Structure formats: C-alpha cells, structure tokens
Amino acid sequence: MIPLQLTLAPEWAPDRDAPWRTLEARPATTFVAVPPGAVLNPPASTGMGFWSINPYVGCEFGCTYCYARDTHRYAVERAAASGRLADTTYEEFGGLEGWEAFERRILVKEGAELVLDGTLARAARRGRLAGRPIVIGTATDPYQPAERRFGLTRRILETLARHRGSALSIAVITKSPLVTRDLALLQQLSERHDVSVNVSLATLDTLLLRKLEPRSPAPRARLRALAQLSAAGIETGLFIAPIIPKLTDGRRDLFRLVEAARGAGAKYVMGSTLRLGPAARRRFLPHLEHVFPELADRYRRHYARGAGAAAAYQDAVADRLAEAQIAAGFAPRARRRHAKDTAAAASTAATAAQAAMGAAVDADSQGTLL
C-alpha cells in the first residue's frame, strides 16, 4: 500500500481573493501559487462528456501547436480584473505576449488536492460521477517539469485513491516519463478504478520533434515510460497528437510509430489532427514560417476557415491510422468520423482522453493537404 500523506482539512477552502504569490523564480521560469477555483471541471463547463483536472496552468514543454495557451491568458486576465494580480505583475505577464507567459510563468494551483477532496465527495453523493470519466491533463501536462518540484499531480492521485465511493474512470494524458514516478500509486488506483495512462507522441523523428516541441521529453524516453507502465499492468495507450499535415502524417512515419506503441505494450493507439484555435494559430503559424517556410502559405489557406483540418483530410488520416493499427496487430476500434462523436460518447477513460485531445472539428471545412 502507498502511504497516503495528506492530512484532511475539510474546512479548508481557498481564499479566492488572495493575491498571487511567487513560489520560485528561476532564470527562465517563474512559478506562481494561485488559489484554485474549481479543480474538478464538470462536463457542462467544457461541453465534453467527462470531468477534467489540470493541476497547473501553463506548461514549460512549450509545444508550438499547443491549443491551451488561452487558458493561461484567461486566468491572468481574471486575476487582474479581480485585483489579485499587481499591475506590475500583470504587465510582466502581458509583456511576454501571452504565448511566452504560458511557457514561462507557470501557475501552480496550491491546495488543489484539498479542494478536489471536497468536490469529489459532493459530486459522488449526488451521483454526478457515474459513467463520467475524469481526465487529468486536458489543458496542461500534469507531469511537466513543475510537477517534479511541486508534486500536485501526485497529491491529486492520492486524493482519488482515497475515494471510497463507486469506481471511477480515470485517464491521465502526458508526454512525460515522470509519470512512472507514480507507477505504484497508479497500480493502487487501478485495483479499484478504471485507469488508463495515455502517452502523447507525434513522431519518432527527434530532430523534427525538437522543431515543434522545444522542451518536451525525447520520443524514446516516452516509449520507455509506456513500456514500463504496460509491464506493470497499467492500461496504456499512445496518442499520436497532433498529427501535423505534411510533417508527421507520412505513411511510413505513422506505421513506425504505431508499431513502436505495440512493441511498448500499448493497448490502443489514437490520433487527432492538428487544430489551430486562435491561441495556437498566433504561436504556430509564425513559427512554421520560420522553420518550414515552404508550408506556411498552404497552412494559412487550409486553416483559413476554421480551427480544424478539413473533414476530407481527417478521414484520410483516420484511414491511414486504421491501416497502421491493423498492420501492427492492434484490434480494430470502432471508427468515429469526428472527435465530436467521441466526446459525446465518452464513457470510458480512454474515449474521454481521446475526445480531450481531439476537441471538436469543423465538419464543413473542405480541401486536403495530403
């Protein structure tokens, strides 16, 4: 048994009017303690069929396509509007143009596990958790470098492990091998709950990956983590996310990646194509112009009508992925044309995690990059 270290303080509640407090300032990154609001975000607030938990806001991995940058900006703006953020700090956050603040000013939801404890008990009493998976890491990586220092994700898992209501369905999404630190805890959770760990990896090509994800863990390290978790009996999956047109959607690359997942013991592979919402677009398109200038115009045209890739492109990618899965020996999964369908049907940890990664798509966009 894992010793559970938390002393319960049921009367504890975050002081939502408290100012933000610097926990640690390193040369490149500052970690700021923020009082957590809702830690367990209900399906109604995301429009998806699952609950979500994000222990941090912002992420040092700094993937150029990351769709979560706006969550950081909203949090900063809300805090400034309610007077919790000093003017000078607000200017500093804004001065980093938003996208950089997302990577360099990490918000740590101090006391999140205590808030979760209360919310979980209330939601369970009202039967609101039944059939609704909980996904950890929908808008930020729960095992990003900050976790090594602050341990919030681990304390959240400990809180879930203490839950004595009916069985939960819990999915973790991460790019980081740090998840293996919590292997024993995940095993303990799996004894009572439906648990899956979904390792996200877009390509095995390390040089290409570095151009897209400046500080994320190396592909081999992620696959090793996947193998370690699988060997320990944890249900694992590989998320090929995002699949980036003309860069990571090649047949050979996808087949190799799916085969590597199979070799690492993954139970399933899922993929979702690149989405460029407003925040991701502001960061990714200028970056693409810099590293792959020959693709920039094509992307601007293709993504001019919406955040999602064209439906025809998504279908072609889904077919390719299905072929790769069959070739690697995965059992065929029921194919859903769009992530919206998956979100609506999110009844297991794995389908909820897939919906979280895929988000909604623009069904009416046309054309193809293939």
Q: Using CB under 6 A as the criterion, which residues of the chain lie in contact with ligand SF4 when the complex forms?
A: 59, 61-63, 66, 68, 140-141, 175, 216
Q: How far is the CB of 288 from ligand SF4 (least distance, A)?
A: 16
Q: How far apart are CA 367 and CA 370, in angstroms?
A: 9
Contact 124, 166 (CB under 8 A): yes
The encoded tokens of residue 350 equal 């794995």
Residue with Cβ nearer ligand SF4 (63 or 120)? 63
Q: How far is the CB of 137 from ligand SF4 (least distance, A)?
A: 8
**CB 217 → ligand SF4: shortest distance, Å?**
9
Q: Closest separation between CB of residue 144 and ligand SF4, Å?
A: 6
CB 48 within 8 A of CB 78: no
The three-state DSSP-derived secondary structure of 67-136 is: CCHHHHHHHHHHHHHCCCCCHHHHHHHHHCCCHHHHHHEEEEECCHHHHHHHHHHHHHHCCCCCCCCEEE
Comparison of 166 and 206: residue with beta carbon closer to ligand SF4: 206
Of 54 and 159, nearer to ligand SF4 (C-beta) is 54
Residue 269: CB minimum distance to ligand SF4, A: 18
The amino acid that residue 306 corresponds to is: G
Closer to ligand SF4 by Cβ: residue 161 or 226: 226
Nearer to ligand SF4, 118 or 142 (CB): 142
Could you tell me where the DSSP H helices lie in 151-307?
152-162, 183-192, 206-212, 219-231, 251-263, 278-291, 293-302
Cβ atoms of 246 and 291 within 8 Å: the answer is no
Q: In the complex, what is the shortest distance from the CB of residue 175 to ligand SF4, in angstroms, rounded to a whole number? A: 5
Closer residue to ligand SF4 (CB): 84 or 281: 281
